[in-house]
Amino acid sequence: MYTQALDSAGAAEPQGDVEEAARLERFQARIDRDEKIEPKDWMPEDYRQALIRQIAQHAHSEVVGMLPEGNWITRAPSLRRKVVLIAKVQDEGGHGMYLYSAAETLGVSRAALIEQLLAGRAKYSSIFNYPTLTWADIGAIGWLVDGAAIMNQIPLCRCSYGPYARAMVRICKEESFHQRQGYELMLTLVRGSAAQRTMAQEALNRWWWPSLMMFGPSDAHSVHTAQSLRWKIKRFSNDELRQKFIDVTVPQAQYLGLTVPDPQLCWDEPAQHFRAGPIDWSEFQAVLAGDGPCNRERLAARREAHEAGRWVREAAAAYAEKHRTARPRPAAEEGGT
């Protein structure tokens, strides 16, 4: 959005502690009144950095997330499934773009963010470091991973930062078909042959726990939760969202006739919640630290695309430079409003 303009204007630096404190107070008051913060508004540096970190991580997840599903585009078992999967993977690329675009309003360039990703210095959702081994994994991702993502994202439509909230509105609107197509795919498999049902169960076994981990560490161990909630760049805690996900997803698994791979899972009648067994956080930490099944492959694929595309990006920039003065060829032209 207005990156360059923002850079030149430059957010005024705080002068003196008293003034700074007053500014912070006014800022927090705006957030408490549910006012949206917009790109050129004054904001605390910590707020800006926290947002950049969160939005970038989200954007990277969308882009890396294209890979595990992209893995099955050429092998989709019907032409209908093929177009659905292409459209879905394409949406994820689009969501990455909306989010990078939102991050850029905070004064960081997309190139810099991508640089961080490729250098291995940026985080993205650890779920995409798991492999898609069978066609059923495409169903499981749509149903579980997109289901978990939607649960995370819907509250973010009300986040305090305007461009991020608007990007999330657009993303959530588009995501709703992703989860449904995944569930429909699973439904077709469980109604099919024995081999297809096995495929579906094994996919649920593989994706259940990583999906629960998508909500992040439990509240007791989450570093950023309290401040993020106060700033309304996060609206619910990790554990609250995880519980909500379990509550809606377990009955969906039951409808499919599949078994959730958690022997301790039970219904807590007084609390009206499903209670899941303990999560193996050591696995989560390992995947996060780069030792998941596909961390290396995912980053390598992104790096390769970036390197192999360099001459193309350079050529387009060089062509534009040569023809800078010329009017664009047939492109849309219009005057007035």
Partner 1 sequence: MTEDWLLYEVFIRSRSGLEHKHVGSVHAADARMAIEHARDTYTRRLEGVSIWVVRSSEIVASDPEEAEALFEPARDKIYRHPTFYAIPEEVKNL
Partner 2 sequence: MSAAIAPERPHATAEERFEYTLRLADTSLVAGQRLAEWLGHGPALEEDLALGNIALDLIGQARLLLALAGRIEGRGRDEDALAFWRDAGQFRNVSLAEQPNGDFGQTIVRQCLLDAWQLETYASLAGSLEAELADIAKKAVKECRYHWRYSSGWLVRLGDGTEESHRRVGAAVQDLWRFTDELLTPDALDARMTECGIAPPAAAIRERWERRVAGVLAEAKLPQPARSHYPWHGKRGVHTEALGHLLATLQHLPRTYPGVSW
Per CB under 8 A, residues contacting partner 2 are 63, 66-67, 70, 73-83, 86-87, 89-90, 93-94, 96-97, 100, 135, 185, 188, 192-193, 195-196, 301, 304-305, 308-316, 318-320, 322, 329-330
Phi, psi at 268, each rounded to 5°: -100, 100
CB of 66 to partner 1, least distance (A): 14
Q: How far is CA 241 from the centre of its chain?
A: 15
* The two three-digit tokens of residue 159, written as one number: 């986040």
CA atoms within 13 A on the CB side of 246: 26
- Rg, Å, the chain Cα set: 22
For residue 254, what are its two tokens? 């039951």
Choosing among partner 1, partner 2, none, which partner's interface includes residue 18 (Cβ < 5 to 8 Å by kind)?
none
Q: Indicate which of partner 2, partner 1, none lies near residue 305 (CB less than 5 to 8 Å, by partner kind).
A: partner 2
| Position 2 contacts partner 1 (CB under 8 A) | yes
Whether 173 and 167 have beta carbons less than 8 Å apart is answered as no
Q: Tell me if 196 sits within 8 A of 189, measured CB to CB.
A: yes
- Which partner in partner 1, partner 2, none is near 57 (CB below 5 to 8 A by kind)? none
Shortest spacing between CB 137 and partner 2, in angstroms: 13
Q: Is 330 among the residues that bind partner 1 (CB under 8 A)?
A: yes
Residues 183/184/190/196 CA torsion (nearest 10 deg)? -100
Q: Which is nearer to partner 2, 90 or 227 (CB)?
A: 90
Binding partner of residue 12 among partner 1, partner 2, none, CB cut-off 5 to 8 Å per kind: partner 1
Residue 33 sits in the site that holds partner 1 (CB under 8 A) = no
- Looking up tokens 């078992």 gives 77
Closest distance of CB 169 from partner 2, Å: 19
Mask 6-25, x = binds partner 1 (CB under 8 A)?
---x--x-------------
Report the residue from 48, 82, 110, 180 that binds partner 1 according to the rule CB under 8 A.
Answer: 110
308 near partner 1, rule: CB under 8 A: no
Three-state secondary structure string covering 88-148: HHHHHHHHHHHHHHHHHCCCCCHHHHHHHHHCCCCCCCHHHHCCCCCCHHHHHHHHHHHHH
Residue closer to partner 2 (CB basis): 81 or 178? 81
Give 77's DSSP letter: S
